[in-house]
Amino acid sequence: MHKSRLRAAVAAACLPLSSLALGGSPAWATPATGPASLPVGAAPAGFYPFGSYAITGGRLSLPPHNTADVNQARVAAAPAAGHFSVDMAKGFAAWPSACSLTDVAQLKVLFPAVTGLEGAPVGAKGQEMVSGKMTPRDVQCRYKLKTTFQPSGYGTVFSWVEVDIEQVGPASPQAWAQGLSQQRGMAKKYPAQFAYYPALKGGTRCFWDGNELQCLKGDFNYWVLGQKVTGGTNASTDGMVWIDQLLLPLAEKVATEVTTKA
């Protein structure tokens, strides 16, 4: 499960951890492997060129981390799902629901190939590791997406995105920086499983850990993850392009919706 590697660190730091981890085996656990090479194509105008990469000798080489190419026009045009001012002194009680941080109207503008949702968003509450207290609202929320590129014959397997609230409080920057440092260390062996985005819109910073974007805006620590389901020989490439097409824009938009106060 995608959060299992954080369990020890979370317990030690008394950080919240969702009681339900969605997703499969973590991508960071094994080196990236694949065919000797994949098609290298030009990136669409206005997008970060994650599609231009190749696998050589079982390792994935990523392009330079150029976050200036995120489609900011779509980020600006996308309607806000809500605006939330979090009083950190109130703890979990002040946290918004993760399912309120994006919606179908926003997702359609951020990435127009999204045409709707397949069912209602699926949320999950979290549990504080020391006290055992549950959050009153969901800290994880997954959205299954209807898209123009949904491959035929895939049945109930859909593209999806998820937003997780990891921590809100003055300890968030330190915890996030620790995760960044650990992932940088792992990247020396598995370079495909790390990318750093230090200059996203509004002072947001994120890093890619091979499975999700871990993001920080002030004292708000949140994750954005997902999977683009396509078919054919370009499925692996499409998975990386998904970061640029939707995950980074969504991370920027979520950051504009949450403010904190002591």
Measured at the alpha carbon of residue 145, what is the angle toward residues 140 and 146, in degrees to the nearest 5?
165
Q: What is the pLDDT of residues 65-124, one digit of tens each?
A: 555 557 889 999 999 999 999 999 999 999 999 999 999 999 999 999 999 999 999 999
Q: Where are the alpha helices (DSSP H) in the chain?
A: 7-13, 72-77, 104-110, 172-187, 235-242, 248-257
Q: Give the pairing type, strands 16-18 and 122-128.
A: antiparallel
Nearest-angstrom CA–CA distance, 221 and 125: 16
Q: What is the pLDDT of residues 158-173, one digit of tens each?
A: 999 999 999 999 999 9
Task: Give the domain ranges of the chain.
Answer: 4-38+52-261
State the Cα–Cα distance between residues 224 and 217, nearest whole angstrom: 13
Q: What is the three-class DSSP state of 85?
A: strand
Question: Which DSSP letter does residue 88 get?
Answer: G
Cα(37)–Cα(139) distance, integer angstroms? 39
Question: Is the distance from CB of 54 to CB of 61 less than 8 angstroms?
Answer: yes
Cβ atoms within 10 Å of 110's Cβ, excluding its own: 23
Angle, CA 225 vertex, CA 230 and CA 123 arms, to 5°? 105
As given in the structure block, the two tokens for residue 230 are: 């396509």
Confirm if 142 and 121 have CB atoms less than 8 A apart.
yes
Whether the model clears a pTM of 0.85, i.e. scores above it, the answer is no
What would the mean pLDDT of 178-189 be, rounded to a whole number? 90
Cβ atoms 220, 255 nearer than 8 A: yes
From residue 193, how far is each of 153, 159, 183 by CA, in Å? Answer: 30, 21, 8
Q: Does residue 16 register a pLDDT over 60?
A: no
Q: Which two tokens stand for residue 198?
A: 């230090």
